[in-house]
Amino acid sequence: MKEIITRFPPSPTGYLHVGGARTALFNWLYARKTGGKFVLRIEDTDLQRSTQASADAIFEALEWLEIKWDEGPFFQTKRFDIYLEYIRKLLDSGHAYYCDCSPEKVEEMRKKGMAAGGKAKYDGTCREKGLGKGENTVIRFKAPLSGTTVIEDAVKGNIVFQNADLDDFVIARSDGTPTYNFVVVVDDITMHISTIIRGDDHVSNTPKQILLYKALGAELPTFAHVPMVLGKDKSRLSKRHGAMSVTEYRKMGFLPDALINYLVRLGWSHGDQEFFTREELLEKFSLDHVGKSAGVFDPDKLLALNADHIKACDPEKLIPHLRPFLEELNIEADDRDYLIKVIRTLNARSKTLAEMAASAQFYYADTLTYDEKAAKKLLKPAVAEPLQLLIRELESLENFTEKDLEGAFVKVMEATGLKLGKIAQPVRVALTGKTASPGIFEVVEILGKEKVVKRLTDAVSYAMKQE
Among 208-222, 233-247, 401-415, the minimum mean pLDDT is found in: 233-247
Domain 366-467 adopts which CATH fold?
Answer: Arc Repressor Mutant, subunit A (1.10.10)
Q: For residues 2 and 402, give the distance between their C-alpha atoms in angstroms, rounded to a whole number.
A: 61
Kindly state the average pLDDT of the residues 44-72: 95
For residue 412, pLDDT over 80 is answered with yes
The highest-level CATH class for domain 314-364 is mainly alpha
Three-class secondary structure of residue 285 per DSSP:
coil
CATH 3.30.750.24 for domain 5-71+229-304, yes or no, is: no
Question: Which pLDDT value is given to residue 231?
Answer: 84
Q: For residues 314 and 348, give the distance between their C-alpha atoms in angstroms, rounded to a whole number.
A: 12
Q: For residues 301 and 198, give the distance between their C-alpha atoms in angstroms, rounded to a whole number.
A: 24
Question: Which pLDDT value is given to residue 243?
Answer: 76
Question: Which pLDDT value is given to residue 8?
Answer: 98
Kindly state the average pLDDT of the residues 246-259: 97
Per-residue b or e along 396-434, where b marks 16 or more CB atoms closer than 10 Å to that residue's CB: eeeebeeebbeebbeebbeeeebeeeebbbbbbbbbbbb
- CB-CB contact of 288 with 26 (8 Å): no
Q: For residues 456 and 395, give the distance between their C-alpha atoms in angstroms, rounded to a whole number.
A: 11
Where is 7: in which H helix or E strand? strand 5-8
Evaluated on CA atoms 67, 241, 272, 303, the torsion sign reads positive
Confidence of residue 119 (pLDDT cuts 50, 70, 90): confident
- The rounded percent of the chain whose pLDDT value lies above 90 is 90
CATH 3.40.50.620 for domain 79-226, yes or no, is: yes
Same fold, 79-226 and 366-467: no
Question: Which pLDDT value is given to residue 46?
Answer: 87
Question: Which pLDDT value is given to residue 225?
Answer: 97
Kindly state the average pLDDT of the residues 147-170: 96
Among 111, 129, 239, 376, the active-site one is 239
Confidence of residue 467 (pLDDT cuts 50, 70, 90): low
Kindly state the average pLDDT of the residues 81-92: 98
21-51 per-position pLDDT tens digit: 999 999 999 999 999 999 999 999 888 899 9
Domain coordinates in residue numbering, the chain: 5-71+229-304, 79-226, 314-364, 366-467
Kindly state the average pLDDT of the residues 419-442: 95
Give the CA angle between residues 272, 245, 223 to the nearest 5°.
60
187-208 per-position pLDDT tens digit: 999 999 999 999 999 999 999 9
For residue 241, pLDDT over 90 is answered with no
Q: What is the mean pLDDT of the chain?
A: 95
For residue 238, pLDDT over 80 is answered with no
Q: For residues 243 and 255, give the distance between their C-alpha atoms in angstroms, rounded to a whole number.
A: 16
284-343 per-position pLDDT tens digit: 999 999 998 888 899 999 999 999 999 999 999 999 999 999 999 999 999 999 999 999
Q: For residues 92 and 85, give the distance between their C-alpha atoms in angstroms, rounded to a whole number.
A: 11
For residue 458, pLDDT over 70 is answered with yes
Q: For residues 88 and 136, give the distance between their C-alpha atoms in angstroms, rounded to a whole number.
A: 18
Active site includes 422?
no
Please name every residue paired with 197 in a beta bridge, in sequence order, or none if there are none.
224
Q: Which of 1, 16, 13, 24 is nearest to 248 (CA)?
A: 16
